Structure 1
Amino acid sequence: MLLLGIDIGTSSVKVCVVDAQNQEVIASAQYPEQESPIISLQTGWAEQSPEMWWQQTGHAIALCHKKGGYDPKNISAIGIAYQMHGLVLVDKNQKVLRNSIIWCDSRAVEIGDKAFEDIGYDTCLSHMLNSPGNFTASKLAWVKQNEPEIYDQVDKIMLPGDYIAMKLTGEITTSASALSEGIFFDFQFNGLSKDITDYFGFDNELFPTVKPVFSSHGRITTEVANALQLTSGIPVTYKAGDQPNNALSLNVLNPGEVAATAGTSGVIYGVSNQLAYDPQSRVNTFAHVNYTNERKRMGVLLCINGTGSLYRWVKDSFGSDLSYQQMNELAAKAPAGSDGLRTLPFGNGAERMLNNQQVGAHLQNIDLNLHTRGHIFRAANEGIACAFRYGLDIMRENGMYPTVIRAGRTNMFLSELFAETFVNATGVPVELYNNDGSKGAALGAGIGSELFASAAEAFSNSKPIAYIEPTATKAFDEVYQSWKAVLEQHLNQ
């Protein structure tokens, strides 16, 4: 049996086909090769076209088929991972009404902050485990307030993965995990939050049918199956946000297990069995993919918006003639600490771990007679690693003390320098795996279609390919304290 995994990212769509018998990837592809654009009509705004995601999905699947090695008609189930918190609106004909307001958009911060105050801090935190902040509920409220002619046409609201599943199947569903990431879910009542819907005036009919993450979310239509060379009627049996899915792909399902990723954004994601929350909502708690009301499995998420996006900007600005590998080689030649050069990787919208402040990205302490672009590349690596340390310290304040962090050998973790800098900054060893979001989505589809008896069986062949231990935590702590001092200069300005 073959499984198709689709990962709807900010920069591209990745797909892969996995053989369920041995859990190996037969073929994979992504589209486009260059990063997808983010539409920013005003400072702090970030949008993408859902139709663009759908077109990219078709192109990526076609590229995967061209690589051969399998018969597309043998694919038996589809899993979808997607960029979290994006708002997709469709009318009764399933037509998209506006571009998606995506995860790093900051326009709704004030709306969410006011809701936090008006609903009540204790109510929000004890029931939703988060401030409404800059999440999907607040984005929907922004549309209601500022684009009433669009809001009045809305039949259903969705997250990006719900939209792709709708395009495949014609059906619209969601899950407790998805509702929780939008701050629509009440954990005390295990259902749609009446506090949120009443406060913002949202009709319950706007929300799709709620189903378990691992279940049938519809079957692919004949028209779409023919266009994608797939078998009509195969089910979509898994949908999850990219960070819960990344955790699944690394077999992070039990309390105390922790995953990390360093793509467009940087994330540390730990699993807990407690309905716990950060009093300042700097790190966020959502329902994990294996959450049930009887068996609580919560995902505690630290997010840094400007991770890979900073490194991409540095490449465009200082290394457009270089590959990322060549950049990393130059960075490795610069001394640890980058001769005092510091970077703050916070130029991609409001940062939740900084109380939704927009600090901006900074290159600080530049010495025009000393620093080279190799220093800049290394300082970017170090600044990102320091941001991870800053966020992990917040997670530690909230009772999460990882002894090892699992990560896929992808994105910034492809760099040996970055991986070493990360473990020295955090003081936590890292296990690297040959895994990515599309493979996780494919294996999730196998779990949802019951090809695997359990999640443990789905990952029975998953073994780490590298184990990286901290070697210079004391020396790096000096870099971190210097970096933290720079950050504090820019906070609350």
Structure 2
Amino acid sequence: MGDQNNLALGIDIGTTSVKVCIVNTDTNEIIAKHGKDTQANVPSDQGTDGNKQDVPKIISALNTCVAKLNKDLLRQIKKIGVCGQMHGVMLFNHTSEAPAWDRHERDGALIRYDVVQKNVSNLYTWQDSRCDSEFMANLPTAQSHLATYTGYGIATLFWMAKNKPDKLQRYNCASTIQDFAVMMLCNLQKPITSVQLAASWGYFDCKNSSWNLEILETGGFPMNLLPDVVESGQVAGELADNWHTIPKGTPVGVALGDLQCSVLSTIENFKDAVLNISTSAQMTYVVENFEPTNDAPVVRPIEYFPYFDGKYLAVAASLNGGNALATFVKTLQQWCMELGFPVPQAKVWDKLMELAASAETDMVIQPTILGERYMPDLTASATNITIGNIGLGQVFRSMCQGLLHNLHGMMPRDTLIEAEITRIVGNGSGLSRNKVLQQEVLQLYQLPLVFTSGGDAAKGAAMAMK
């Protein structure tokens, strides 16, 4: 394959899959990549309010992905960047006598790391809704420009402190899944996190780059579990072993947010807005001169998350994206089963796309079946139903329209025009595969919609390792 000067490995530990890629950081070209669905969801003792994932399965998927890449290229890796799903939290017990992971060698070379199941909790993801409105209302007021919601790491840990204090006693560390991966790769004794991920947990003062220590301690928070925070883009440590032939000593960056890395790899200049529709949906653009406050947070549809180099992302993040459409598809599939006609899910999707492409509808569907962070009790609804608009294609078209209208309500066209945005860059499989959603974007925003070669959070993680 020949020597390449500046190769970086990018890792994205997402909500449903792990993706890795090798990037030439001189040209930002992806040289090789691999992805794998983690299939890591596990039943929660909180029923539908809980959302948990199996950490060993996620780390196993990471090992598998890296192992599939070309060994000659891996030997030339100069740095490793890691990002992943934001807001979530996992607990683990890690000491030199009882580590949270095992090392597996073959012929003197490290092949893989495996998680020691008994020392690690499940990952409580951003989709976890165990912290209801009443619980959240009783938490202490943060000093941060960002509000805290259910599914955010600090809220989940507060819930554990109140409802499962015995469980917390078993662990001495807490972090995001990507922070855990960095700690494992570098053999760190304590997790460290980036400003991006700390802000995504809640109770983080971006103005002074610090946790709300006094507020948390007074509120009875388990303070020993808070990770240390460093600036996004810094090196967390060095690879502790030769890992799948990547040389020992290779610098590993502190873990980052998948949203920020996805934007980094997608935009070509600050006049681009990024629309991502995958599991959830986000519209976002870079703000160069945002000044965070540390007053009490105000709940609003647009939030400002730390980006890179002191800049911020203006983000309208909807909990309803491809997951809301997938819920409808699964319901249709279930109905067919109940009628005695099993239909493969892929077939349902194909037919819906085909029917909706040419459908015209005046039915109005608000498909917010998963609520919204700024309005957790929001439900879905359908209005203006007539005998002439209940065809399957019309209903699906109305759902797609509703998804975009919901996002547009959070970040309208006027907001983008005021920010001098000149085009929308599309991102995420939920948008790239759905022509109906694309038509609705053009209709609502009246701006060009383009798909670039970016959009890959794993690529962005590699690019962030300057």
The TM-score with structure 2 as length reference comes to 0.80
User: How far, CA to CA, are the matches of 1:420 and 1:245 in structure 2?
Assistant: 26
> 2: CA distance between counterparts of 1:181 and 1:160?
13
Picking from 48, 61, 76, the partner of 1:43 is: 48
In proportion to residue count, which structure has more helix?
1
Residue 406 (1) aligns with residue 431 (2): no
Using a 3 Å threshold, how does the CA distance of structure 1 residues 187 and 360 change in structure 2: closer, same or farther?
same
The reply on whether 1:308 has 2:322 as its aligned counterpart is yes
| Contact persistence 2:40–2:58 (CA under 8 A) | no
2:136 matched residue in structure 1: 112
Note the C-alpha offset of 1:308: 1.0
Pairing 1:162–2:179 present = yes
* Aligned residue in 1 for 2:367: 345
1:260 aligns with 2:275: yes
The structural deviation recorded for 1:55 is 1.2
Structure 1 residues 43 and 203, CA, compared in 2 at 3 Å: closer, same or farther?
closer
2:399 pairs with one of 380, 391, 396: 380
Q: Distance in 2 between matches of 1:252 and 1:243?
A: 16
The one-letter code of the counterpart of 2:185 is L
Query: What is the aligned residue count?
Result: 419
| 8 A contact 2:84–2:257 mirrored in 1 | yes
| Matched residue SS, 1:128 | coil
Tell me the distance in 1 between the aligned counterparts of 2:248 and 2:193.
22
Alignment partner, residue 91 of structure 1 = 93
1:72/1:188 CA distance change after superposition, 3 Å = closer
CA RMSD across the alignment: 3.0
Q: 1:419: Cα distance to partner? A: 1.8
Cα drift, residue 383 of structure 1: 1.8
- Deviation at 1:104? 1.6
2:149 counterpart of 1:142: no
Q: Name 1:214's counterpart in structure 2.
A: 233
Alpha-carbon deviation of 1:418?
1.6
The CA deviation at 1:401 is 6.7
Q: CA deviation at 1:395?
A: 9.3
CA deviation after TM superposition for structure 1 residue 220, in Å: 2.1
State the Cα distance separating 1:407 from its structure 2 match: 2.9
Q: Residue by residue, what CA displacement relative to the aligned partner does 1:39-64 show, whole Å, maximum 9, x if unpaired?
A: 4442322111222221111122233x
Instruction: Map 1:312-351 onto structure 2 (within 5 A).
Output: 312-318=326-332, 320-322=345-347, 324=349, 327-335=352-360, 339-348=361-370, 350-351=371-372
* 1:311 aligned counterpart, secondary structure: helix
CA distance in 2, matches of 1:253, 1:183: 29
Q: Spell out the pairing of 1:185-264 with structure 2 (5 A cutoff).
A: 185-202=204-221, 204-222=223-241, 225-226=242-243, 228-251=244-267, 258-264=273-279
Looking at structure 1, the residues matched to 127 and 354 of structure 2 have their Cα atoms a distance apart, in angstroms, of 30
Deviations 1:56-112 (A, max 9, x none): 11122233x2xx495321122111121110011122335354212211212224333
Which of 390, 410, 423 pairs up with 2:442? 423
CA contact (8 A) 2:238 2:250 kept: yes
User: Does structure 1 residue 356 correspond to structure 2 residue 376?
Assistant: yes
CA distance in 1, matches of 2:383, 2:8: 47
Counting only pairs closer than 5 Å after superposition, residues 279-294 of structure 1 correspond to structure 2 as: 279-291=298-310
The CA deviation at 1:321 is 4.7
Cα distance, 1:203 vs structure 2:
5.2
Closer/same/farther in 2, CA of residues 396 and 423 from structure 1, 3 Å limit = same
Higher strand share: 2
* Counterpart position of 2:196: 177
Secondary structure at the counterpart of residue 43 of structure 1: helix
Counterpart contact for 1:10–1:36, Cα < 8 Å: no
Partner of 2:126: 103
Q: Structure 1 residues 391 and 189 mapped into 2: Cα distance closer, same or farther (>3 Å)?
A: same
Instruction: State the SS of the aligned residue for 1:322.
Output: helix
Query: Could you tell me which amino acid in structure 1 is paired with residue 26 of structure 2?
Result: Q
- Please give the alpha-carbon distance, in whole angstroms, between the structure 1 residues aligned to 2:307 and 2:326: 30
| Match in the other structure for 2:83 | 81
- The CA distance in 2 between the partners of 1:389 and 1:302, in whole Å, is 9
Instruction: Indicate the residue corresponding to 1:55 in structure 2.
Output: 60
Query: Contact between 1:5 and 1:79, CA under 8 Å: does it hold in 2?
Result: yes
Residue in 2 aligned with 1:465? none
Task: Tell me if structure 2 keeps the 8 A contact 1:259–1:270.
Answer: yes
- Secondary structure at the residue paired with 1:329? helix
Q: What stretches of structure 1 of length at least 5 have no aligned partner?
A: 292-296, 448-493
Once the two structures are TM-superposed, the CA of residue 276 in structure 1 deviates from its matched residue by 5.3
Distance across 2 between alignment mates of 1:253 and 1:240: 21
Q: What residue identity is the alignment partner of 1:341?
A: M
Aligned AA for 2:260? Answer: P
* One-letter amino acid of the structure 2 residue matched with residue 425 of structure 1: L
Offset of residue 5 of structure 1: 1.3
Query: Given that residues 40 and 54 in structure 2 are in contact (C-alpha distance below 8 angstroms), is that contact kept between their aligned partners in structure 1?
Result: no
After TM superposition, the structure 1 stretch with the greater mean CA deviation from structure 2, 274-283 or 89-98, is 274-283
The answer to whether the 8 A contact 2:204-2:212 is kept is yes
Q: Cα offset for 1:307?
A: 0.6
Q: 2-side partners of 1:181 and 1:393: how far apart?
A: 24
2:284 to 242, 251, 269: 269
Q: C-alpha separation between the residues in 2 aligned to 1:402 and 1:22?
A: 25
Long gaps (5+) in structure 2: 1-5, 101-118, 334-344
Deviations 1:125-167 (A, max 9, x none): xx41023332221111001111111212332221121012122
Distance, in Å, in 1 between the alignment partners of 2:414 and 2:57 is 35
CA distance in 2, matches of 1:408, 1:307: 12
> SS of 1:340's equivalent?
coil
* Amino acid across the alignment from 2:63: G
Report deviation, 1:392: 0.8
Structure 1 residues 233 and 316, CA gap change in structure 2 (3 angstroms)? same
For 2:229 and 2:40, how far apart are their aligned partners in 1? 30
Relative to structure 1, is the Cα distance of residues 416 and 352 closer, same or farther in structure 2, using a 3 angstrom cutoff?
Answer: same
Contact 1:252 1:258 (C-alpha < 8 Å) held by counterparts: no
Partner Cα distance (1:11, 1:341) in 2 = 32
Instruction: Work out whether residues 149 and 155 of structure 2, in 8 Å CA contact, stay in contact via their aligned partners in 1.
Output: yes
Amino-acid identity (%): 21
Matching residue's letter, 2:363: L
